[in-house]
Structure 1
Amino acid sequence: METAVVKTPLGYARFTGDENGLASISVVDKAMPEDIIPEVLQDAVYQLNEYFEGHRKTFDLTLNPKGTDFQKRVWEALLEIPYGKTRSYLELSKQLGDVKAIRAVAAANGKNPLWIVVPCHRIIGSNGDLIGYAGGLHRKKWLLDHESPVKQQSLF
């Protein structure tokens, strides 16, 4: 498994993957960026940088996350949420065919190993509140603001 660490506007992103695909992207507060990015991770790093620059709304990567079959079903459903849109945990549970699975869906969402690429940040509470984000709510808010079609203008 190859690794790379790059600086992003939200901290350092640590990538892991191999010839079978991208296994994880996680955000870490403290790390040292790596000078050399392994070839198998270069496209993922490039696409994430494009996302932060505002030039990419979808990712075209081979994904190979580790998880249970249920977790993978949840992560696949997350991929269907368009850029700039949100869904609630309840809506996601209904989409997966079991409204009673809301806690299991939330737990699987929290175990998402592919930060931003599998957009778990687009899941919010039924009342619109920003809840439950492993990367911290400040990052979730930043990501949703970044993807928002309506940009807040400064008064000054």
Structure 2
Amino acid sequence: MKVLVIASLFTAFIALVVYLTSIIAVHGIRKSISDSNYFLRKPYKLVFEIVMWVCGLAIIITGIFIKESADWWVIGGGIGIFLVGVFSDFKRNLFIRIAHYVSAIGGFALLGLSYYFSFGNIEYTIIIAISALIATGFADKRIWCLELTMAAEIFVGLFYLAHTIM
């Protein structure tokens, strides 16, 4: 199962990096990662959704197999990230916007808290919280930097945990 978890995390991380690199190369840094979806045209219109689904599913798979019993903090965070892709058209109406924001904030929050509540690592949870505050406090594109910071730290932490405890 360790190979499945690490392979799925690696695939999701590479998909996210390739997506973000492509967006930056073609359209520059956007207001947020989700906002970049509005700059995509056919045949690339579903790429953002697919990347969020891949990331969410990889995190859910990690939550299922990282410990002997399912880790619901990680699974819940993965569901949140998956739902970001489901509610990707957040500018369409208020319901979708609320669902999108709740999914994104909830997913990242659950994943950040999982390091303490599931794995007993309060230091990493504090590092994530402090770096999130720094990213939003000092960056020009605050949401973009916050999302990148959170995504990088979540993936690094899950890679590390999958490698060390499985």
What TM-score results when the alignment is normalised by the length of structure 1? 0.28
More helix by share: 2
What TM-score results when the alignment is normalised by the length of structure 2? 0.27
Q: With CA pairs under 8 Å and 6+ residues apart, which has the higher RCO, 1 or 2?
A: 2
